[in-house]
A and B are shown apart, each in its own frame.
Chain A
Amino acid sequence: MSALIDITGLSFRYSDSKALDRVDLSIHEGDSLAVVGPNGSGKSTLLKIMNGLIFPESGGYSFKGVQITEKALKEPIFSKAFHKSIGLVFQNSDTQLFCPSVYDEIAFGPIQMGMDEKQIEQRVGDCLSLLKIEHIKDRAPYNLSEGEKKKVAIASVLALNPEVLVFDEPLNGLDPKTKKFLKGLMIEVNNAGKTIICATHDFEHIKGVFRKVLVLSEDNKAVFLGDYDKIMNDEKFLLQNNLK
């Protein structure tokens, strides 16, 4: 089976520092992959590249066999279809929510997809109930708690029904109950056939969610790609890579 996401020799630099150094990665449909690594190891950068927000300095990234380049994403139809297929939940939910109410936020994608009023209402209602946020549907997103904002951000991405869901540090700053809820949701979404990719530090709360793990080192290299449980039980490796 060919890979859904194929990354080869990918490197990226910000103006003053290296962020990723020759990273190779391949993800298949239905996979669940955790991207772990210490601060500054390039996790968020990798996710941004996967979502076509920034472009690698060298190396290649292909999605469903098509190379994702700046030029390719300048073509509006392709760009929209690509962004429809891969949804990103930002680390800071504040930067993801820009509509006047929670309902509008979730309906933003379905409206653009040209759905009729009834379909939009159903899809938004389903997302609200899935995330258990029906009671806040008329509230302004900026007035919500961090946990509620995160749920709204996830609902707004889920409403697009993407094939791949990318989470950037989804559990940061959340209370244990919300963490537990999001863990269950990630498992449920993955069981529904969606591919999930998640950058995180929070190993305790994501146990049992991911089958694969990519470990990025402090010098921005991929030091391990493989079975999640195997590496997370390797105390020595975790200590060596500033993960414990």
Chain B
Amino acid sequence: MHDWLLKKDEYRPAPDRIFFIDKSMLSIVSRISRLKREERSSTSFFYTLNPGLKFLTTVALVIVISFLRDFSSVVLLFSYFLLSLALIDISEIKKIIGVAVFAFISSAVILTPSVLMGNFLNSLIICIKVVSTVMAVNIFAYTTKNQDVTRSIKTLRVPDILILVFDITIKYIVVVGDIAVNMLNSLKIRSIGKNDHKVASLGNIIGFLFIKSKKFSEDIYSSMLCRGFNGEYTVKESSAGFGLYDYIYIVVNTLLIAGVLI
């Protein structure tokens, strides 16, 4: 055993900022945790709806709101989305409102010249349309399991192979994200002094993740070949039936769409 290993180092760390590691880690962890939202225990209205029905209705509402020109109809749909928002879990309401507020501010900034030119009402309609669309998509995303999201795309006759790619992508974002968090943890606990090459360290981690992702994709393709994959993949359509809530949802949305279009 070498001498230096037999005695304690006289070492006092030099001051250095390492918060970039924590910040990177937090941002990855929060994104992964959103993708991991699989275990839904909520039995409230939106969470129990048929995913395919919810998906089709969301698409229909987004198309309808994009066609609307009348201020009162736009406000009516916006109110409907606000009401829908009130029916989901409080923690998710906060997140959706956060995204919606950001969307509103972004579109308001973009439309500022238009407002200054006197197109206040049209600009307001566009802003409300943007916020409503963001809310509609987020309500669907937050109240539907990832696997149901991909299955529900099937109702639009999206090719199965694309759904497979989508499924695998979601799964491996989580896997690679976990690896990224562990690597940042490793960087954090080995950053015991002054690191003058922080960007290089992060660059190395990103490079490694790229190599790892490539290996994952090769392995998964090999494993698919070993299990008889021949380019054809069949996604089973969601087998969830319709319940009382689904019929209520259909009636309300049909009346709403008919009301704003007529």
Contact = CB atoms under 8 A, between A and B. Distances in A.
A157 B183 CA distance: 14
Given A90-B186, A95-B182, A142-B208, A84 B195 contact: no
Contacts of B8: 161, 163
A113 B193 contact: yes
Contacts of A53: 185, 188-189
Contacts of A80: 13, 16, 18, 191-193
A126 B4 contact: yes
B186 A96 contact: yes
Interface residues of B, number: 37
B192 A113 contact: yes
Contacts of A188: 1
B138 to A, nearest CB: 21
A98 B2 contact: no
B39 A76 contact: no
A83 B189 contact: yes
A108 B6 contact: no
A51 B131 CA distance: 44
A226 interface: no
A16 B185 CA distance: 22
A69 interface: no
B179 A95 contact: yes
A113 B211 CA distance: 30
Interface string A73-95: 00011011101100110101011
A30 to B, nearest CB: 12
Contact of B13 (A52, A77, A94): A77
B193 A126 contact: no
A195 B156 CA distance: 61
A157 B44 CA distance: 50
Contact of B186 (A95, A114, A160): A95
A192 interface: yes
A144 interface: no
Contacts of B190: 83, 108-109, 112, 156-157, 160
Contacts of A109: 190, 192-193
Contacts, number: 111
B9 A84 contact: yes
Contact of B192 (A92, A100, A160): A160
B227 interface: no
Contacts of A191: 1
Contact of A98 (B12, B17, B195, B208): B208
A84 B194 CA distance: 13
B212 interface: yes
Contacts of A94: 179, 208, 212
Given A90-B186, A98-B186, A98-B187, A192 B195 contact: no
A112 B16 CA distance: 10
A157 B192 CA distance: 11
Nearest to A143: B211
Nearest to A110: B193
Interface string A49-73: 0011100000000000000000000
B17 A112 contact: no
Given A84-B11, A163-B8, A188-B1, A92 B182 contact: yes
Interface in B1-26: 1-2, 4-6, 8-9, 11-18
B15, B187, B190, B194 — most chain A CB neighbours (10 Å): B190
A24 B205 CA distance: 36
A99 interface: yes
A213 to B, nearest CB: 25
B23 to A, nearest CB: 13
B27 interface: no
Contacts of B179: 92, 94-95
B140 to A, nearest CB: 23
Interface of A: 15-16, 51-53, 76-77, 79-81, 83-84, 87-88, 90, 92, 94-100, 108-109, 111-114, 123, 126, 130, 142, 156-158, 160-161, 163, 188-189, 191-194
6 contacts: A53-B189, A76-B17, A84-B13, A109-B190, A109-B193, A142-B211
**Lowest 8 A-B CB distances belong to which pairs?**
A112-B193, A80-B13, A95-B182, A84-B192, A126-B2, A96-B186, A83-B189, A98-B204
